[in-house]
Structure formats: structure tokens, C-alpha cells
Structure 1
Amino acid sequence: MHGHGYTQPVKQPPPTAWLVFVRVLFVAISVLSIGILAWTMLLRLAIVTRKGLDWGLFVAAGAADLLALVLLGTEPGDEVHTVGGWTGIGLLLGTLVAVTAYYLAADVRHFHQLRYGPAPAYGYPQPAAPTPSPYTATSPPHTQPLPQAHPTPPPPARTPVPQPPLPASPPRRPAPARIDQVRAELDELSDYLRNHDGQHGSRHDGDHEGGR
């Protein structure tokens, strides 16, 4: 079984105060030399970053400064009067401005990435996390998730159904036996009254004849 090799320690950048001092120093040297030593900023930047682009810019800046010195050297007097002399001055100043701006931006970006890491590009997917090795880390046992109990919905409320009104019960008719009994009693009462009236009338007639 082969173990993992030792990782190289990440080189920490110098303190911020020291970086600011070095930047100011190289810019001051370039400005005080009127751009003649502007190539020194790109030389330091190429040594720090070790990028081919910075080495190429260093060579280009050195060539521009050399060409400007040649144009100024062709000037016959101490003062600038010819087109070559003005071209040399413009080349020096233009190289100084361009090199200073690029040097400061590239140097700040380089040490910022060295301290905090490169910023992820916008719109690109992030790298996936490395898969842990089975020899260095043990994964927890795979457990199936417990089924979640779904709440039982309450039964729908029942709407009371209106009951139709009950039909009124028809009035009860008297039984036929009762009618016959009442009719018999009425007949008896009629016979009694008839008899009573007949007896009363016969007595009245007898009293009338006896009085004669």
C-alpha cells in the first residue's frame, strides 16, 4: 500500500506593507528617469510571475526605451527641434504611462491570487469536491430514509339534507259502530218524546171531558 506523498507548502506572499514599498520604489525610479528605466518594473514583474507574457512585455519596453534614446541622440542641439526628438520624447512618456499602469495592475492581481486563491470565472461550473479515498476515510453506513407518514386528510363535512315536511294526518272518522249507537240513542229519544207527548195529550183530553 502506497501512502500519499507530502504536499509542498504553499508559499506565502510578503507582507502588504513591503509590497507597497517595492511598488512605489520602482514607479519612482521610472518617473525620475523620465521613462528611461521603465523596463525595470516589467523585469521585476516577470521575475515574480514567471509568465511568458511579462517577459515579452519586458523586452518590448526595453526596445521602446532604446529606440527613444536613439531618436533623442540624433538631435543636433541640447534642445528638441526635430520630429525625431519629439518622437523620442513621446515614446518615452507613452511607454512610462503604459508600463506603470500594467505593472501595478498585474502585480496587485498576482499577489492577491497568491494569498486568496484564484477567483472562479463567472458562468463556469465549480470543480467537484474530490472523492474521499477508502483508505483514508470511512464513509458512514448507507441508511435508507424512513418513509414519511402522510397526514390523513380529514373527512369532508357532510351537508345536512333538508327533510321534506311530513303530511298532516287526515282526521279520523268515527267508527261505524259508534254511528249506529248514536243513531239508536236518537231513535230511542225520539220514541220517548213521542210517547211522552202522546200520554200528555191523552191526559189533557180526559181532564177536559171530566170537567164537562
Structure 2
Amino acid sequence: MPAGDHMSPETGGKGQSSPFLTLVRGAIALLDWSGRLIVGVCLTAMFAALLVNVILRYAAGSGISWAYEIHAILLPWLVAGGLVIASAKGRNIAVSLLSDMLSGRARLVLNIFIQAAILIITASVLWSSHPILKASQFQTLSTLGIKQIWGYSSIAYSFGAMSLIAFLGILRTLAGEDVADLALEDTSLS
């Protein structure tokens, strides 16, 4: 069988996926898994700290003092991980009316415009958060003694990853892949 005759679900059954697109999809999947890992670790650590604190309060009459501050570090990372997962899966909030009305090249142009807008917005958030990140280097949590930069750095992770995902979405669209074909009616959680 000649190359390209194998059906590929990534290309709508039109043949093999190019190695470039496979690499791009792999990078997006890696970002998705990084978000999953961050969410899992944060949820587990926050729940464990809260559980141990409650048990100690009831059993010993006093809990662990840092159990309340750990959330100041982990909650922003939990949200950041969720943002990256949603962005990588295309599950962030979207209005798909115009995208659903268009097809072919017009839909691909709209996809490029949307991904470019996301890229510009996320890059501007990264740029504008620079003073906040700088200032947070001098703020310390009183009980833990940890600098606030550890929580605020989640901004750089989440918006950096979303910028990269948008850029990779542009590359996928330029390669002819319809990144807006999400079948929202089948995957909606509402």
C-alpha cells in the first residue's frame, strides 16, 4: 500500500498525519498532561493538609498553622493547571456560532484569527504580569516563610502554556487541520 493510504482519525480519514502535525499534537498533549499533573498534585496536597489539620484540631486541640497558608500557593497552581487542560483540549469557554456557520477556507481563516487573538491576549497578560511577579519576590507568607512568587508564578505557567497552545493551533490550522471542529454537542458538560 502506498504511503498516505492508511486512514488517520486526526486527518478526518484522509490519509496519514504528517510528522510535523504529530509533533505539534504531541506538544499540546504534553502541556495537557503537565496541567493534569499539577492539578492532581495540588488537589491531593490541599486535601491532605486540610484533612490532617481537621484531624489534629479534633484529636489534639490544635492544628497545623501552615495548613491555611499552603492554599495561597497551591490554589493558583490548581487554577493554572485547569486553564492549561481546558486550553489544550479546546474546552475553554467558546461561542461557536460563527465557526459553525462557516466551512472550508473561511472557517480556517476564522480559526487563525481566533488563535492569533488568544495568542495576543495571553502574551499581553504575560507582559503585564511582570511587575506583579517582580513585587511578589519580596512578599513572604508569615507561617511558611515561602515567597509569594511561588504562587504567582502560576500566571507565567498558565498564560505561557496557553500562548504556546494558541501558536501551535495556528500551525495546525495553517497545515489544514480544523482546530474548531470540536463536536461541542457531543462533548458539552452542560
Give the TM-score taking structure 1 as reference length. Answer: 0.27
Structure of greater relative contact order (alpha carbons < 8 Å, 6+ residues apart): 2
Q: Which has the higher helix share?
A: 2
If you compute each CA radius of gyration, which structure gives the higher value, 1 or 2?
1
